[in-house]
Amino acid sequence: MKPREQAGQSLATGAAGTALLHIERALAGTADWATADVWVRRASEVIDTADHAGLFYGVPAVAFVLHAGGIRYRSVAAKLDEYVLRLAHRRLAAATARMDRGEGATFREYDLLYGLTGIGALLLRRMPSNDMLADIFRYLIRLTQPRRDMPGWWVEHDPDPILPTPGGHANLGIAHGAAGLLALLALAARDGHVVGGQREAIERLADWFDRWRQPSPHGSWWPQWVTRDELRTGRTVQPGPGRPSWCYGAVGIARACQLAAIATDDLARRRAAEEAMVGCLDARQLRRLSEPGLCHGLAGVYQTAYRASQDALSPEIAARLPMLVAEHASGDEFLSGEAGVRLAMETAHRGTPPLSGWDACLLIS
């Protein structure tokens, strides 16, 4: 497939992500639908239905965008649902076969961006009563169970080519790791979509985050991942908190833990998660951020903290939101560029949840 054809249907870097911005503005009445239509057409010129497609690329990504537009794109969106279900069936069959063989997982199999967690997030939004979603939950529940004294979501590959983890690692982040699993299972349970073993899986994951929570004078934090040696010793070698980003940082993890605590009615864990979120919003922590985007920057922190503030027991998170408003970004991308920043600013300026529900793709709502 040509690069231009790939770009349109990418939620992370292509027209699909930009379309979300114009859909949100059209729903709010601050822009016309004609502009949204242009970007939706660009996103859906070519739609990849192959097995590498996921929430941030291909048919699930385009389906997510169309469903965000509500009634305007409903008939077109409905036509994609069957393709999404077929893809989910194939992906789930392959993942189950891999588990049965006793082999290790990969990000691409289970994560939010391109794996079954992301497809599950789409189905939870679009088809919450579908049997396929229940089957994905059962897969994720199995993924939370230990495999040879390691977490079931353990991967043998590195988190990044320049950050080797000999022997593999267990990722903690919301984009590629345990926080994504926890957030999806908790969001579903909160809305009453529960299968056997789901609450136990939420508890297992919550215990994992309790185990790896690290104290600091400015609030709790978690390592980005756990290596084989760290798993053996029970101690992280990460010397201190990293940037408090949505994708790998404590902001995304704290929101996942808050959702889990709400789903299981655990008041102590809920308070601990919200205290961790407040710590992330400390000025000293925010200085670790070097960009404005959703994935690694202030926009992602803002949108995640905003969603957490809507559920919070105290007003502390909400009180810190004004300092997070980002002024600008370069580029048009959703995850790292201007489209994502401007979507977060729509939330900031209106002070209300997104009308399109666009941030469901971040598993924070």
Q: Which two tokens stand for residue 265?
A: 């009615």
Contact between residue 143 and residue 98 where contact means Cβ atoms under 8 Å apart? no
234 vs 105, 208, 237, 254, CA distance in Å? Answer: 22, 11, 10, 21
Is 247 annotated to bind a ligand? Reply is yes
Is 328 annotated to bind a ligand? Reply is no
What does the alpha-carbon distance between residue 192 and residue 213 come to, in Å, rounded to a whole number? 28
Contact between residue 24 and residue 355 where contact means Cβ atoms under 8 Å apart? yes
Contact between residue 293 and residue 324 where contact means Cβ atoms under 8 Å apart? no
DSSP-H helix ranges across 56-197 = 59-68, 74-100, 107-110, 116-126, 131-143, 178-190
What does the alpha-carbon distance between residue 200 and residue 126 come to, in Å, rounded to a whole number? 25
Q: Which two tokens stand for residue 70?
A: 């509500």
Q: At 227, is the secondary structure helix, strand, or coil? A: strand
Is 169 annotated to bind a ligand? Reply is no
User: Which of 325, 161, 178 is closest to 260 using CA atoms?
Assistant: 178
Which residues participate in the annotated binding site for Zn(2+)?
Answer: 247, 295-296
Which residues participate in the annotated binding site?
Answer: 247, 295-296
